[in-house]
Amino acid sequence: QVQLVESGGGLVQPGAPLRLSCTASGDIFSIHYVAWYRQAPGKQREFVASLLSGGSTKYVDSVKGRFTISRYTANTVYLQMTSLEPADTAVYYCNAEYAEPVPENGEMEYREVWGQGTLVTVSS
């Protein structure tokens, strides 16, 4: 059982920074993958950044050099955004993959969970 809650969204001017937080609860130590996605109005949900438990990161090309995903505490992951552009306007979602044992065979089953989203609006 893992639950995710995003926070930190709001209205900012172009060029400004903003930090989003993803806070997990439940069996947080079973999480091995955390990612941020975003969805702009009328568009498909888009991958933004990901963080593996070992510390490796990936980013979509459009945010490389501007966004940073990092683990702040055992249950909190940040998305630090800088030099925000109007094109960054979207609802940002936290996503996590975690593992739990399957009683029938003892093997691990991987599950995916999403947060409720937080709105980021970049406008002057």
66-112: pLDDT as tens digits: 999 999 998 999 999 999 999 999 999 999 999 988 889 989 899 99
14-61: pLDDT as tens digits: 999 999 999 999 988 889 999 999 999 999 999 999 999 889 999 999
Which two tokens mark 40?
Answer: 């702009």
Contacts (Cβ under 8 Å, ≥6 apart) of 102:
108, 109
CA distances from 49 to 21, 38, 53, 59, 75 (A): 13, 10, 14, 4, 17
